[in-house]
Structure 1
Amino acid sequence: MSTFPPQPIRPILSSIAAILRERNQTVSVIETATGGLISACLLATPGASAYYRGGLTLYSLESRITFAGWTQEDINTYKGPTPQVVSKLAKRIQSQFSTTYTICESGTAGPTTRNFTSPGYVALAIASDSGEVTTREVSTGSSDRESNMVAFTEAALNLFLDVLNKSVQV
């Protein structure tokens, strides 16, 4: 049996896929600290082409300028990954992809950090085409890069499932 996606994430992915297919909804993903794991997990689910529209791994400042339209003001006011930063990224990219939802995360997987946050911290946001954004902050208390990347992925997918379960199809 394959070890990817990680076993604890598989039921979350099954639920997400079923809901998105049933509602004919779509998702895009913006990642930093997870390095593409959220997208990879969604794409590992058979039938993902029905709902997955694309993703970006905006790991560097240059990629945020080029692909997310960051301005000099964004750069000047940046204080690390925060719910405000991921909300803004999620809203901007959600409209560019024209998806029902965009999952966004930014954090510090570790083992080192750039003085903004401690390793093991991630800010998450889910933007919807209704304009609503739901955020969550998670701290693992660990500086283990690999385990944090997986934990951040699981947290982002859990938040997305929470949003899907609360949303009502109109």
Structure 2
Amino acid sequence: MEPAENYPFPPASFKPLLNEISELLRSTSSTLAVAETTTGGLVSASLLSVAGASKFFVGGTTVYTTKPRKAWAGWTDENVANYHGPTPELVTELAANVREQMDVTYCIGEWGAAGPTVLGPPIVHVAGQTFIAVVSRESFATRVVNTGVTEREKNMVAFTKATLMLLRDVLAGDVKLEHHASASA
């Protein structure tokens, strides 16, 4: 058996952020699920790298293709036929569907294009761009991230950090949350 290569995971720059997220979730007894696309499971893996993550992390899904989008994101054949690329509304809907299915306090969603290439019309993806949402039962916050690069691995790591940062900002009360239409009725 060959020795394990020394690739620190998560990146050292993530550790303070992950510890802060963990403390914020534990201090409120909140639970979390993750629905991600182009981060490919890195958001979930990063959160699970924190000792005691089982106190807040319920589960996650990578909805990279149509099949898991139908299973986890509540997509129908009509959604597939009308898909033209990720938007803040789509990632919010994704996170809301997974939050409800997993029965958690929060769900964070991520959906973008890591690159280097992207699909052409009618699908509109921008390499180096992702959309992020944090959803609770009553409210949500979204963020758009543009890295300006088309290098897949760099974007996956940058998208993961941006996703974790939005989660931390929501948990810390540092972003203005919008209320779901159904919650205000």
* TM-score, normalised by the number of residues in structure 2: 0.86
- Cα offset, 1:70, TM superposition: 0.5
Query: Once superposed, what is the RMSD of the aligned Cα atoms?
Result: 1.3
Q: Between Structure 1 and Structure 2, whose CA radius of gyration is higher?
A: 2
- Which of 136, 139, 154 is equivalent to 1:132? 139
The aligned runs of 1:58-97 (5 Å cut-off) are 58-97=63-102
Sequence identity percentage: 44
Partner of 1:150: 157
Distance 1:2 1:35 in 2: 18
* Structure 2 unaligned blocks of 5 or more: 1-5, 175-185
Partner of 2:131: 123
Q: Tell me whether 1:32 sits opposite 2:37 in the alignment.
A: yes
Report SS of the residue matched to 2:50.
Answer: coil
Moved over 6 A (4+): none
Distance 2:9 2:71 in 1: 31
Give the letter aligned to residue 67 of structure 2: E
* Structure 1 unaligned blocks of 5 or more: none
- Cα offset, 1:2, TM superposition: 6.0
- Cα offset, 1:150, TM superposition: 0.3
* TM-score, normalised by the number of residues in structure 1: 0.94
Report SS of the residue matched to 1:55.
Answer: strand
Give the letter aligned to residue 146 of structure 2: S
